[in-house]
Homo-oligomer: A and B are copies of this chain.
Amino acid sequence: MMKDFFKVTELGDVLKLATGFKKTPDETIPIQQAPDRILAEDIIADRDLPGFDRSVMDGYALAAAATFGASEANPALLHLTGSVRMGEPADGSVGRGEAVKVATGGMIPEGADSVAMVEHTQLVDPETLEVFRSLAPGSNMIRKGEDFPEGAAILSRGCLLRSQEIGLLAAFGRASVRVCRKPVVGIVSTGDEIVPIHQEPGPAQIRDINTYSMSALVSQSGGIPVSYGIIRDRYEDLLATCLRAVEASDMIIISGGSSVGTRDYTIDAISALPESEILVHGISISPGKPTILGRSSQKPVWGLPGHVVSSMIVFHMVVKPFLEHIRGRTDQNGKHRNVSAFLSRNVSSAQGRVDCVRVRLMEKDGRLLAEPILGKSALINTMVKADGLVVIGLNSEGLEKNTLVSVIPI
């Protein structure tokens, strides 16, 4: 029980804790389902790609030496001996001074080392070709293994699979691939004033927003949200639900409990879970300071603030990096996603905490402006208006108008 301990942890120190948690195990899935998943194996080229010298233009395969010195005024004359059929090996080889017709994607016959583009040639008669350019060997073709040679390491465990990586897996015949299982995130909403969304709120009640905003964030971050409903502010109920959730999930998010009493229940419930420990009780971030991070059975258990905006901002800034770790990600693919913009007005900030300012992005006179959105962190309209977050560091007293800032898209 550590409920009397409330020392705020610096954001950077909290983020360092992510690697202490267990990654999800692997599973094998068809590559059609693999976009945005994390690779869980190293992929080695089991053959050359392409497997043959390949034309990248429509034209004529030939030995480049036969065209050296050729020009519009002084074309090289070659003997056209046939054509390459797509998907079939060329029969015979191309002798010096000979050419063979080839289409984009066709195989370059033996003896040829380049392709003259059809635009740079003219057929004098069905067997005689004029070439108006001097070609370097290798022109307009890719060599066997030029994309990836056999044995090359092509993708590493931990990388995010984008459309290009999916294409690459297809190129090597990988119809299925090992990926990290999507983390299951149990979501527990707490608060005596919260009612289910299909219910008409009473005079002092409010509908359950956090279950849905948190679920959406989990889905968009590569996890599978599982809702455990709304739990009243009773320790026994919260503990019973958390026990079920920690058993079935890779991470737990308890939202609500911004009031002192509920916060205590959250701390107590996390502390009573199997193999548990409270790691963080308060983070130097605004909004979001009353965030709790515990561990149970090597799984993170979050106590997020109840205010809708605070919980979403803490998710973006703190929870998401943990989810990235748990889902196995170690690469840098697509990591640089912040947008640069000029602040439209001065923003002040308190020293000793990281301030996350909601901003709207807008173009004005050809510049991208970040306009701070003011408003309490209990107002969801401020998040709906926002395109991103600007982070003002621990030791800054604020940022001046026209400062170039880095905006985290939300």
Chain B: CB-nearest residue to A109: B204
Question: A147 near B306 (CB under 8 angstroms)?
Answer: no
Question: A258 near B105 (CB under 8 angstroms)?
Answer: yes
- A321 CB to nearest B CB, Å: 17
Bound: A254/B90 CA distance, A = 27
Which residues of chain B are near A164, meaning CB under 8 Å? 213, 312, 380, 383-384, 386, 410
- From known contacts A54-B378, A86-B191, A259-B58, infer whether A387 and B209 are also in contact, taking CB-CB under 8 Å: no
Question: B203 near A51 (CB under 8 angstroms)?
Answer: yes
- A353 CB to nearest B CB, Å: 16
Question: A167 near B383 (CB under 8 angstroms)?
Answer: yes
Question: A173 near B258 (CB under 8 angstroms)?
Answer: no
Residue of B147, B208, B387 near A336 (CB, 8 A) is B387
- From known contacts A259-B103, A307-B56, infer whether A166 and B213 are also in contact, taking CB-CB under 8 Å: yes
| Count of chain A residues near B, Cβ 8 A | 106
Bound: A169/B192 CA distance, A = 21
Question: A376 near B56 (CB under 8 angstroms)?
Answer: yes
Which residues of chain B are near A171, meaning CB under 8 Å? 206-207, 209, 308, 380
Question: A212 near B105 (CB under 8 angstroms)?
Answer: no
> Chain A 71-111, CB within 8 Å of chain B: the 1/0 string?
00000000000001111111000000000000111110000
Question: A167 near B368 (CB under 8 angstroms)?
Answer: no
- From known contacts A36-B220, A336-B368, infer whether A147 and B380 are also in contact, taking CB-CB under 8 Å: yes
- A87 CB to nearest B CB, Å: 4
Is A339 in contact with chain B by the CB < 8 A criterion?
A: yes
Bound: A377/B308 CA distance, A = 46
Question: A216 near B384 (CB under 8 angstroms)?
Answer: no
A-side binding surface: helix, strand, loop or mixed? loop
Question: Which of A162, A233, A306, A337 has its CB near the most chain B CB atoms (within 10 A)?
Answer: A162
- A375 CB to nearest B CB, Å: 9
Question: Which of A52, A87, A198, A214 has its CB near the most chain B CB atoms (within 10 A)?
Answer: A87
Is A222 in contact with chain B by the CB < 8 A criterion?
A: no
Bound: A214/B166 CA distance, A = 9
Interface residues of A in 4-30 (CB under 8 A from B): none
Which residues of chain B are near A215, meaning CB under 8 Å? 32, 166
Question: B104 near A163 (CB under 8 angstroms)?
Answer: no
Which residues of chain B are near A356, meaning CB under 8 Å? none
Is A2 in contact with chain B by the CB < 8 A criterion?
A: no
> Chain A 40-62, CB within 8 Å of chain B: the 1/0 string?
00000000011110101010000
Which residues of chain B are near A386, meaning CB under 8 Å? 164
- A115 CB to nearest B CB, Å: 12
Question: B32 near A212 (CB under 8 angstroms)?
Answer: yes
Question: B204 near A165 (CB under 8 angstroms)?
Answer: no
Is A126 in contact with chain B by the CB < 8 A criterion?
A: no
Is A235 in contact with chain B by the CB < 8 A criterion?
A: no
Question: B168 near A306 (CB under 8 angstroms)?
Answer: no
Question: A104 near B258 (CB under 8 angstroms)?
Answer: yes
Bound: A105/B262 CA distance, A = 11
Residue of B88, B165, B261, B410 near A103 (CB, 8 A) is B261
Question: B376 near A193 (CB under 8 angstroms)?
Answer: no
> Chain A 148-175, CB within 8 Å of chain B: the 1/0 string?
1000001100000011111111111111
27 A-B interface contacts by CB (under 8 A) = A32-B215, A51-B203, A54-B378, A56-B378, A86-B191, A86-B204, A87-B202, A87-B204, A90-B204, A103-B262, A104-B259, A104-B307, A105-B259, A146-B379, A147-B379, A147-B381, A162-B220, A163-B410, A164-B312, A167-B210, A167-B212, A169-B212, A170-B207, A171-B206, A173-B198, A175-B198, A338-B339
What 9 new A-B contacts, CB under 8 Å, besides A164-B384, A168-B381, A175-B198? A35-B216, A35-B220, A51-B203, A87-B193, A89-B203, A90-B204, A104-B307, A163-B312, A170-B213
